[in-house]
Amino acid sequence: MDWQSPGELCIWFALTFNIVAGVAFALRALGNHSFEPLARRAYHVFAVSVAGASVWLYVLFFTHNYAFKYVYEYSERSQSFLYILSAFWGGQEGTYLLWLLFNAVFGYLLIRNAAQHRYWAMTVYATVNLFFLILLVRLSPFAYLGQPAADGMGLNPLLRDPWMVIHPPIMFVGYSIAALPFVIALAALIKNDFSQWNKIAFPWVAVTAAGLAAGNILGGFWAYKTLGWGGYWGWDPVENSSLVPWMVSLALLHGMILERRSGALRRTNLALSAVLFLLVVYGTFLTRSGVLQDFSVHSFTDLGITGLLVGFMLFFLVMSAGLFVFRTAHIHSGDLNFNFFGREFLLFAGMVTLLIFGLEVAIWMSLPLLTKAFGASPRAADIATYNAFAQPLSVVIAVLLAISPFANFVPFKLENWGRKLAIVSALAVMCAGLLALFASDDKAVVAVTALLAVLGLGMALWRKDWLMPLAPGLAVGLVTVVICLISGVREPLHLMFFSVAAVALVSNARLMVDFIRTKWLAAGGHITHFGFAVMIIGVLASSAFSTNQKVVLPRGEAKSAMGFQITYNGLAQKIATPNNEVLLSLDHGGTKFEGRPQLYFSERMGGLMKKPFISRALLHDTYFSPEEVKEPSDEPLILKKGEPVVVGPVTLTFLGFEIGQHTDTISSMKVTAKLESKSYDKTVSLAPARIHKTGPDGQPMMVSEPDLLVAGEQAYQVEIQSILADQGAVTLTIPGLSDPMSIDQLILDVSNKPLINLVWAGAFLILIGTITAFLRRHNDLQTQ
């Protein structure tokens, strides 16, 4: 601890006065009114001290004071103003200070809006802030470097993007706000007063959901436009650590709506408020303890704070569980209406589905920790594991979104409700019949779905007054299925997914427009549901039906890919120059323009960094991602065991030698090189060989036995040139593919992302809907 550093002094002032404020708020909560002025003044000093530490950190950054370790590690003199601004949260120390700064600001929301729970809520909130202050004492952004440096290392190249200037702060707003419903719930448990807790906490649950939604959306968009792998969500454990709290916050919103309507699920909602906050802390532990550093590109290394993170989790887990068990008998909840045709049940079903989704993700993202805990070798779940449950659960969500606009809170009457549901039910069975007839070879599936279609039509004919309401929904469903079939979609689950999502989109659009025109503050749920329908269509289309093509572009030679004529014109600068650009000339249907993806070697990251060029259109994006520039060379193609080598559009991996006798003669020996070839999303095995035997004249001779490699529409002969047994390697010749190069070549991955814009449009609508819900509930809180 260096008492000469104003930043350190501010941290210690904040720690001291946070404790004073917490104790004073507790004494005020116990009935001693004289402590309220002290509590408020101490909190003011705490907040000002945190703000002072933040300002001082910026002073160090902008004055390039490289005597401080954090400034040295995350900035450099040539760094632009924007990225010095974002260097504040470039590492763990700064993100904890940023989180604490938001906590200090949001504490005033509790003081102003927490009503009868204000004082106990602020007492618990002080313990939350105490954790961050202890972390900052242990892991200070104001630690000295030891020997001052002339310049810094600079911000991670991946973080030098405008979206990363705003993505982390917005995500931390969501994390920070998650503490508000938590401390309000604990205050209600301490006071044994649940009369107003829902009304007080609801707006902040909505803000938490909005903040986490915005953070996940911006993170996905940053990954899509920056990382160059062509996707926006890779089920990375760090991505999942923010997805799970978002799922729980959405589930909690549904539960709190039910509690406001009938008093049901009060215990569940109180528990979920604690679970939401604890999941944020758990995600922090996973990503910042070093547990995931071998499994995630986003994970931090262990900086010696794992014990503090675990202790914090356990402290609040025990506190929450203890209070809940102690008070559970006094928490009175109303009965949940399990009428399958009512909105209460649909809200409950949506809540449960979201929780199941979140639980599944939480379990699999914890796999490295769980396998290690049980003594096995740590491993992470692959993308296929997540998709196996995400796709069917997304269909369930789409079905609920399609049905929910037609339900209400009044008792069920077939003649009222069925008229509305007819659009969805008949559409679903009709689409099921079409799905089976066009996409399935299974006769049992055809028979069952055809029967469902007949039943659906019979239901419509039984009530002829339903035929008119059926028309719009049937039209949407039929058009959706026809478009999918014309587009080549044959997978039954995909067809069902698209058709149900289309119905959800139409059914929510009608109510969304009605509410926006009449009482827009009540439209938040419908806007959110409409956004979800739009987004899930975009997610499936852009992931399941994305196509890609890898092309090898000799400089100056035009080649065709994804409807573009592409010419590689070299590099703008040397490959070691930061932000170096690849010069592409693109021609799409006679429209010519330049593409400038980035490809450069980062000394800090120790590898090639790439940033794609994206050609945007209304219905799709074309994604140009450079992979490698191969310089002119006359060296042979050498493959070492287990090390993949890119050769044109093919990735070859040498797996090892296989030695045996040749069938022609006992005295011969056959050495086979076992190879794996990947190209155009296809993986095949190759086995070129060399046969060593004795010739007719008694002299040793060698016979080559090549194998055929098929890559796209081209076929190449793969032959062993030499065997490097002492190096565990093999030299190959592949005429037409591995010939010596006289000019440099660019290996470029070109992919098409259909309907990708629906992902961003839907996500934006979800965010708008959640903010609208907050405004409505905040307005209710202000008028109480």
Q: Is the pLDDT of residue 45 over 70?
A: yes
Reported confidence tier of residue 594, pLDDT bands at 50, 70, 90: very high
Please check whether residue 252 is in contact with residue 269, taking contact to mean a CB–CB distance below 8 angstroms: yes
Q: How far apart are the C-alpha atoms of 373 and 286, rounded to whole Å?
A: 14
CA atoms of 121 and 184, how far apart (whole Å): 5
Predicted local confidence at residue 342, as pLDDT? 67
Structure tokens at 725: 């047994």
- pLDDT bin (cut points 50, 70, 90) of residue 435 is very low
Q: Check residue 598 and give its pLDDT.
A: 93
- CB within 8 Å of 541: residues ≥ 6 apart: 498, 754, 755, 756, 758
- Positions of E strands within 680-728: 682-686, 689-694, 700-705, 707-711, 714-724
For helices 467-486 and 414-439, the axis angle rounded to 10 degrees is 20
Model confidence pLDDT, tens digit, residues 543-585:
878 888 888 888 888 889 888 999 999 999 988 888 899 999 9
Do the beta carbons of residue 346 and residue 403 sit within 8 Å? Answer: yes
192 pLDDT more than 80: yes
- The whole-number pLDDT of residue 477 equals 62
Single pTM value for the model: 0.79
Token pair for residue 490?
């044959």
Give the number of C-alpha atoms closer than 13 A to the C-alpha of residue 655, restricted to the C-beta side.
12
Q: Quick one: pLDDT at residue 307?
A: 83
- Output the pLDDT for position 466: 41
What percent of the chain clears pLDDT 70, i.e. is strictly above it? 83
The pLDDT, as a whole number, for residue 439 is 43
Specify the pLDDT at position 298. Answer: 52
Packing angle, helices 266-288 and 306-327, rounded to 10: 170
| Each residue's pLDDT tens digit, 470-479 | 455 556 666 6
Structure tokens given for 364: 């699999």
Helix (H, G, I), strand (E, B) or coil at 89: coil
Those residues with Cβ within 8 angstroms of residue 397's Cβ, 6 or more apart along the chain or in another chain: 350, 353, 354, 357, 532, 536
Lowest mean per-residue pLDDT among 27-36, 384-393, 428-437, 716-725: 428-437
Range scoring the smallest mean pLDDT among 23-32, 210-219, 471-480, 750-759: 471-480
What pLDDT is recorded for position 338?
66
φ/ψ bin of 592: left (φ > 0), alpha (ψ from -120 to 50), beta (otherwise): beta
Q: Which pLDDT value is given to residue 472? A: 56
Q: What pLDDT score does 467 carry?
A: 43
pLDDT tens by residue, 762-771:
989 988 988 8
Rounded CA-CA distance 716/688 in Å is 12
How distant, in Å, are the alpha carbons of 106, 210, 225, 632, 775 from that of 207? 12, 5, 27, 56, 9
Q: What percent of the chain has pLDDT over 90?
A: 35
Single out the residue of 621, 630, 673 nearest to residue 650, CA to CA: 630
- How much is the pLDDT for 550? 86
CA dihedral 436, 442, 444, 448 (to 10 degrees): -10
Tens of pLDDT, residues 679-709: 867 889 999 998 877 766 666 778 888 998 8
b/e code 266-288 from CB counts within 10 Å (16+ = b) = bbbbbbbbbbbbbbbbbbbbbbb
Q: How far apart (Å, rounded) are the C-alpha atoms in residues 752 and 756?
A: 9
Give the three-state DSSP class for 536.
helix
Residues 76-84 have a mean pLDDT of 92
| Amino acid letter, residue 643 | E
Name 614's bridge partners. Answer: 623
Q: What is the pLDDT of residues 486-536, one digit of tens each?
A: 667 777 777 777 877 877 787 788 778 878 887 777 778 888 888 988 898
DSSP 573-635: S-TTSTT-BEEEEEEETTEEEEE--EEEEETTTTEEEEE-EEEE-SSEEEEEEEEEEEPPB--
Rounded distance between C-alpha atoms, residue 158 and residue 191, angstroms: 48
- Region for 642 from its dihedrals, namely left if φ exceeds 0, alpha if ψ lies in -120 to 50, beta otherwise: left
pLDDT averaged over the chain? 82
Q: Are 228 and 625 in contact (CB under 8 A)?
A: yes
Q: Residues near 738 by Cβ (< 8 Å), separated by ≥ 6?
A: 636, 637, 647, 648, 732
pLDDT of residue 463: 46
What is the tens place of the pLDDT at every residue in 340-373?
656 788 888 889 999 999 999 999 888 888 887 7
Q: Is 397 helix (H, G, I), strand (E, B) or coil?
A: helix
d(CA 308, CA 317) in angstroms, rounded, equals 14
pLDDT of residue 432: 47
CA atoms within 13 Å, Cβ hemisphere of 313: 18
Write the pLDDT tens digit of every residue in 258-268: 898 888 889 99
Residue with structure tokens 């004529």? 565
